[in-house]
């Protein structure tokens, strides 16, 4: 019988990652006033572009589904707020006014914020920053990921994660010759649950999946 540790025990504590990377150190060399000004410019650009884009870009509009407020701030005095109108599918941006946001991403310094937001690996850096307690997320980390996705609709920094070439061997449509000894029953496509199966409709209405889509508040993933 194998015993615990008979597999190679992980050496996970032997080489912790560096808390502050060279990239972040480089941004930290900027004088604070310069960094703050540059960050205000960057956040201001997103503040100026995102709202009108939310009026005419269907890709952005379809993702604005709830009314919420997101702040990005630094401890050295830079702050920007985005307010999302779910029913209207609009965004607007202001300086941070009174009232707590629903979600916030807070940095210690403007240099740190620039290093993170202008990185090709923003989400990784945010996670690392939160883990090492150099950054703070208030509210949901998933909303931060969602917001980051919206900004990438304006300016995409870094490639999308995934294979660089299409993986081979895709199975894209039914092929009965591959069913083997079993027969897969395939019937014509339908677009909706049989309306006469009322018991199924009643049961389905209890599921969180359709309830979440109907606007009912649901927990995060």
Q: Least CB distance from residue 126 to other proteins, whole Å? A: 10
Is the Cβ of residue 7 or residue 41 nearer to other proteins in the bound state? Answer: 7
- Give the full edge-to-edge strand order of the sheet including 79-85: 90-94, 79-85, 68-74, 103-107, 135-138
Neighbours of 67 (CB within 10 A): 13
One character per residue 16-55, x = contact with other proteins (rule: CB under 8 A): xx-x------------------------------------
Asked whether position 99 contacts other proteins by CB under 8 A, the answer is no
d(CA 18, CA 208): 41
Q: Least CB distance from residue 1 to other proteins, whole Å? A: 6
Position among 29, 98, 99, 187 found at the interface with other proteins (CB under 8 A): 187
Is the Cβ of residue 4 or residue 99 nearer to other proteins in the bound state? Answer: 4
CA 48 to chain CA mean position, Å: 21
57: Cβ contacts below 8 Å, ≥ 6 apart: 153
Asked whether position 195 contacts other proteins by CB under 8 A, the answer is no
Q: Is the dihedral of CA 78, 83, 84, 90 positive or negative?
A: negative
Q: Which of these segments, 29-37, 47-55, 75-83, 170-178, binds other proteins (CB under 8 A)?
A: 170-178
Q: Are strands 135-138 and 68-74 parallel, antiparallel or unpaired?
A: unpaired
Asked whether position 128 contacts other proteins by CB under 8 A, the answer is yes
Asked whether position 56 contacts other proteins by CB under 8 A, the answer is no
Q: Which of these segments, 40-48, 73-81, 93-101, 162-170, binds other proteins (CB under 8 A)?
A: 162-170
Phi, then psi, of 19 in degrees rounded to 5: -70, -45
- Binding-site size, other proteins (CB under 8 A): 91
């Amino acid at each position: 019988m194998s015993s615990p540790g008979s597999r190679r025990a992980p050496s996970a504590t032997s080489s912790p990652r560096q808390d502050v990377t060279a990239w972040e150190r480089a941004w930290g060399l900027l004088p604070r006033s310069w960094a703050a000004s540059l960050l205000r410019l960057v956040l201001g650009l997103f503040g100026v572009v995102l709202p009108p884009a939310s009026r005419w870009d269907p890709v952005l509009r379809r993702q604005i589904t709830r009314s919420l407020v997101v702040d990005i701030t630094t401890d050295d005095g830079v702050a920007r707020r985005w307010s999302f109108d779910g029913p209207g599918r609009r965004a607007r941006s202001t300086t941070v006014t009174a009232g707590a946001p629903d979600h916030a991403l807070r940095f210690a310094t403007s240099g740190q914020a620039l290093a993170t937001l202008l990185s090709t690996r923003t989400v990784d850096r945010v996670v690392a920053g939160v883990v090492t307690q150099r950054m703070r997320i208030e509210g949901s980390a998933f909303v931060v990921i969602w917001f980051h996705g919206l900004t990438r609709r304006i300016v995409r920094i870094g490639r999308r994660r995934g294979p660089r070439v299409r993986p081979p061997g895709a199975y894209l449509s039914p092929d009965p010759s591959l069913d083997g000894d079993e027969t897969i029953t395939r019937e014509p496509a339908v677009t909706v649950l049989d309306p006469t199966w009322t018991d199924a409709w009643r049961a389905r209405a209890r599921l969180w999946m359709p309830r979440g889509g109907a606007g009912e508040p649901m927990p995060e993933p």
